[in-house]
Chains A and B, each alone.
Chain A
Amino acid sequence: MNSAIRRLAVGAIILMLALMANSTYLQAFRSTELNGRNDNTRVRDQQFSVDRGPILIGNTPIVDSKETNDQYKYQRTYSNGPLYAPVTGFYSFQFGRGGIELNQNSELNGSDPSLAFRRVVDVITNRRQKGASVTLTLNAAAQQAAYSALGSKKGAVVALDPKTGKVLALVSKPSYDPNLLASHDLGKASDAWKSLNASDDKPMLNRGIKELYPPGSTFKLVTAAAALASGKYKPDTPVNSPAELPLPQTTVPLVNENGSNCGGSNNATLTVALRLSCNTAFGTIGLDLKADALREQAEKFGFGERQLPELGAVASQFPGDPNEPQTAQSAIGQFDVRATPLQMAMVAAGIANKGEVMKPYLVQNIRTSDLKTVSETKPESLHQAVDSDVAAQLTAMMVDVVNNGTGKPGRIDGVQVAGKTGTAQTAKDRPPYAWFTAFAPADNPQVAVAVMIEDAGVKRDEIAGGTLAAPVAKKVMEAVLGR
């Protein structure tokens, strides 16, 4: 009998070893997969209960975590929520995260590998884990100015530091209050989420970087850059600019906005054509340079690439294979040319920065809770879009636009502004998009800005980039320049 008992003893040990092996598989090898599951409430609960680091502008927190007595321990609070929502995003229990809250999540909650040392110190000193702080490049005054100036208009503003690529302002209207989504009253958060998503105004849409719009005449900056870069054109080169430009392969001509030729001339110079935003002149240039040259120039300004991908930005686009009339349309920012406000700000910034387009960025630095810097973003060059001579010529032409042309509403007393207006028609039943992109001061640029107004609630014939968008851009530039 004893030998049978011994065999059973071995069998029992094998059973127990199988249990241990399976638990090892589960807890040592499968844990990452299981912890990453969306329906894993304990991971979410734990992260939701962490003392999440603040999001700062300068030294001022715009997003912070305040201690609470409920089961989640810390309440995420957004001061001036709607103002910063397009950048900060939100942090909710049920609906996840957005914006910087999403992109910098591991730093903010302290789980990032770069914070491993900090975590060890916290364990040894018996302190609760606290996330790192994220400092943004935003300029609070510019952000506020853009938000106020847009008022109740639907649209977006993006401002950049042309020399570094820092995003100084990123506003999208209408906006929403992330505090509603971060509420620990999960029922209220859920109601807020539903009504925000059901709204026709799409308040959670980031119009500055996530939506593509026809850039209209602001795209003429790209066409002008291609023209000057080709060597065939100088600012004073006369360009064919009749009231109506017949287009090959079609009976529909390209017309100027006001129905006449370019300031009384059928052969206006490039400078005049930009000043008055003559469609026929730039159509002519487009037909002359061909689509590939335009696309190449656009791509040097950043078209076709996602900038600020951390916020889910989309790439602006120049049409793939336009025929001749489509090329002429594209040259004036119509047909299938689509751009984000960020992209048009990058065009202005590139021209401002002697032709060098800097890579836009939003996170200035990341610091631990005891203010040690974990990482600091260094400015990075994206492309040399045009050489500095061409940039200088373009700057002079843009100055002329603001001083003498369609961009007059963008003028600032005592500061030379360089800019370009745009009004982009789309469908007959919806109002055109009003654009203005500019930088200032023209001789030592501190800020480049693009304003896009999707819907201002005014009559159709009153919509023009100069009258609607330029005053907004002006306020933003004034704010950055401290005026």
Chain B
Amino acid sequence: MSIASTSVIQIIPRSRRGVELMLLIVAIGVSVGAYVNIGLTVQNRVPASTGYYAAGIGLLALIAHLALRYRAPYADPVLLPCAVLLNGLGVAMIHRIDLGLAATRIAKGQAPKAAAAPQQITWTAVGVILFLLVILLIRDHRRLQALTYTAGLAGLVLLVLPLVPGLGVDLNGARIWIRLAGMSFQPGEFAKLCLVVFFAGYLVLKRDVLTLAGHRFLGLDLPRARDLGPIGIAWAVSLGVLVFEKDLGSSLLFFGLFLFLLYVATERAGWLIIGGLLFAGGAFFASQTFGHVQRRVDGWLDPFAEDRGQVATGLMGQAWGGILGRGLGQGRPDLTLYGQSDFIISSFGEELGLTGVIAIILVYTLIIERGLRTALGCRDVFGKLIATGLAMSFALQVFVIIGGVTGLIPLTGLVTPFMALGGTSLVANWAIVALLLRISDQARRPQTPAAPVSDETIAMAVQKA
């Protein structure tokens, strides 16, 4: 009967690479359009660098797309276009602020500084190379599980690196940079990736004991005291980052990631509550004890008080944009402090308005939710945890930095993924997206169907019974 035959839903796995290509063309088109628009508004001509820019963003995106077709055909089709769009728009805005800063310096009779946008395109290329390496070299994410403790150690070393005398440098009040052979790196960006791998691998091993042992208290399943070890260590490490590197954002990120993965692995809300309380306690203690934390809180409560102007210029820029924005090239994002890096979202708010900001947040939301969807679809626990960790790392970063810039929470300084000026972060984010795509390929790939069972076999089975 026809009804009976349709009641079995046949899932036909589709690679969706064509969709990805269409979306990529849109993303590249929007980015190049923004770049040309900026040139036309600010300089009254199509910028000479359009070719370089379009080739940079476009070719890199297409190469990444081809790599996926070749080695991960079932990967999620939305992630790559989202990353390309954010990266492309970010470079366009960095270029726009380059022009604004140069104009101001020329007006003052000074020579303009080196442009930052070409540098960012170069870093994009490095990022895409890393993307290719991840896609091509890691054929199965489960192999990473063997690296659990190596990744953990690497993560810790990377995290501590900026504290090494002679290697680490203080920049804008935080010690999260190292300088090597004339180049600056932010090792924390890669530590994030390593720690997610470590957390995931560790939790795969320990989840049973963490889940099963415990007692109920006030309706919550609380873990045993000795199982609190890992959370205690994570708490101490994150506090250490906060105190010694003066990097509030990263400490929130590391601790938050650990908590989320612990929650997913054990499905016990008790962990979240204990962790949340620990974090709140640590944050309160820090805000009372450490000057730099105190200043951030004061600056959040009253951004316009004297000497706290960092958030103020960004807020005024965004307000100036209003609902529809000044138009690309028609605002003054060059007046915003760190308008190319930490406050790039304010720059978009100024020129693209509330509409633009919401669109950008929605693109991030897409990345996050697509990442979590990958986690849902993934068939192995390790993959689930990694995908969750990577997706939630985007969520935390975006929330902490945009929330800080727009005055929702105290400014704690994390990077706006893919958009903000800065090589390390861009490269690390490309690696993260590559890993997510790799897992999603696994998750969406059709399973090798089990050998069909013949009617004879069934008949035999019935007879035996």
Tell me the A residues contacting B by CB distance below 8 Å.
Answer: 1-6, 8-9, 12-13, 15-16, 18-20, 22-24, 26-28, 30-31, 33-35, 37, 39-43, 45-46, 70-71
- Of residues 394 through 425 on chain B, the ones whose CB sits less than 8 Å from some CB of chain A are 395, 398-399, 402-403, 406-408
Question: Quick check: B406 and A34 within 8 Å, CB to CB?
Answer: no
The 9 closest A-B pairs by CB, nearest first: A34-B319, A31-B319, A27-B354, A71-B107, A12-B395, A42-B332, A22-B408, A15-B399, A4-B264
Question: Quick check: B384 and A42 within 8 Å, CB to CB?
Answer: no
Across the interface, which residues of A come within 8 angstroms of B349, CB to CB? 23, 26-27
In the complex, B358 has a CB within 8 A of chain A? yes
26 contacts between A and B (CB under 8 A): A1-B267, A2-B376, A3-B267, A5-B388, A9-B368, A12-B365, A12-B368, A12-B391, A13-B369, A19-B398, A19-B403, A19-B406, A19-B408, A22-B403, A23-B357, A27-B349, A27-B354, A27-B357, A28-B323, A33-B319, A34-B315, A34-B319, A39-B304, A41-B332, A41-B335, A45-B335
Given contacts A34-B316, A41-B335, contact A16 B354 (CB under 8 A): no
Q: Least Cβ distance of A106 to chain B in Å?
A: 17
Q: In chain A, what residue has the closest Cβ to B408?
A: A22
Across the interface, which residues of B come within 8 angstroms of A37, CB to CB? 304, 316
Question: Quick check: A12 and B358 within 8 Å, CB to CB?
Answer: no
Which listed residue (B260, B322, B357, B364) contacts A8, Cβ 8 A? Answer: B260
Given contacts A8-B263, A13-B369, A19-B406, contact A26 B319 (CB under 8 A): yes
The docked-state distance in angstroms from the alpha carbon of A8 to that of B385 is 12
Given contacts A9-B369, A16-B365, contact A23 B358 (CB under 8 A): yes
Q: In chain B, what residue has the closest Cβ to A45?
A: B332
In the complex, B132 has a CB within 8 A of chain A? no
Q: In chain B, what residue has the closest Cβ to A21?
A: B408
Given contacts A1-B264, A8-B388, A23-B358, contact A16 B364 (CB under 8 A): yes
Q: Least Cβ distance of A119 to chain B in Å?
A: 14
Question: Quick check: A22 and B319 within 8 Å, CB to CB?
Answer: no
Question: Quick check: B267 and A26 within 8 Å, CB to CB?
Answer: no
Given contacts A4-B267, A34-B319, A43-B320, contact A12 B407 (CB under 8 A): no
The CB with the most chain B CB atoms within 10 A, among A18, A23, A34, A39, is that of A23
Q: Least Cβ distance of B167 to chain A in Å?
A: 35
Given contacts A18-B408, A23-B354, A45-B332, contact A30 B319 (CB under 8 A): yes
Question: Quick check: B264 and A35 within 8 Å, CB to CB?
Answer: no
Chain B's interface size range is 35 or more
Across the interface, which residues of B come within 8 angstroms of A33, CB to CB? 319
Given contacts A9-B372, A28-B323, A31-B319, contact A22 B353 (CB under 8 A): no
Question: Quick check: B376 and A22 within 8 Å, CB to CB?
Answer: no
How many A-B contacts if CB must be within 8 Å? 128
Question: Quick check: A35 and B267 within 8 Å, CB to CB?
Answer: no
Which listed residue (A12, A28, A41) contacts B322, Cβ 8 A? Answer: A28
The CB with the most chain B CB atoms within 10 A, among A3, A9, A27, A46, is that of A27
Question: Quick check: A27 and B321 within 8 Å, CB to CB?
Answer: yes
Question: Quick check: B403 and A8 within 8 Å, CB to CB?
Answer: no
Question: Quick check: A8 and B265 within 8 Å, CB to CB?
Answer: no
In the complex, B66 has a CB within 8 A of chain A? no
The docked-state distance in angstroms from the alpha carbon of A400 to that of B394 is 92
Across the interface, which residues of B come within 8 angstroms of A39, CB to CB? 304, 312
Q: Least Cβ distance of B401 to chain A in Å?
A: 10
Which listed residue (B107, B265, B398, B407) contacts A26, Cβ 8 A? Answer: B407
Mask of B364-399 contacts with A, CB within 8 angstroms, 1/0: 110011001101100001001000100110010011
**Known A15-B399, A40-B316; 14 more pairs at CB < 8 Å:** A1-B264, A9-B368, A12-B372, A13-B369, A15-B395, A15-B398, A20-B361, A24-B358, A27-B322, A27-B353, A34-B320, A37-B304, A39-B304, A39-B312
Across the interface, which residues of A come within 8 angstroms of B373, CB to CB? 9
Question: Quick check: A35 and B320 within 8 Å, CB to CB?
Answer: yes
The docked-state distance in angstroms from the alpha carbon of A28 to that of B322 is 6
Q: Least Cβ distance of B395 to chain A in Å?
A: 4
Across the interface, which residues of B come within 8 angstroms of A24, CB to CB? 354, 358
Q: Least Cβ distance of A126 to chain B in Å?
A: 12
The docked-state distance in angstroms from the alpha carbon of A225 to that of B384 is 97
In the complex, B318 has a CB within 8 A of chain A? yes
- Of residues 303 through 332 on chain B, the ones whose CB sits less than 8 Å from some CB of chain A are 304, 312, 315-323, 331-332
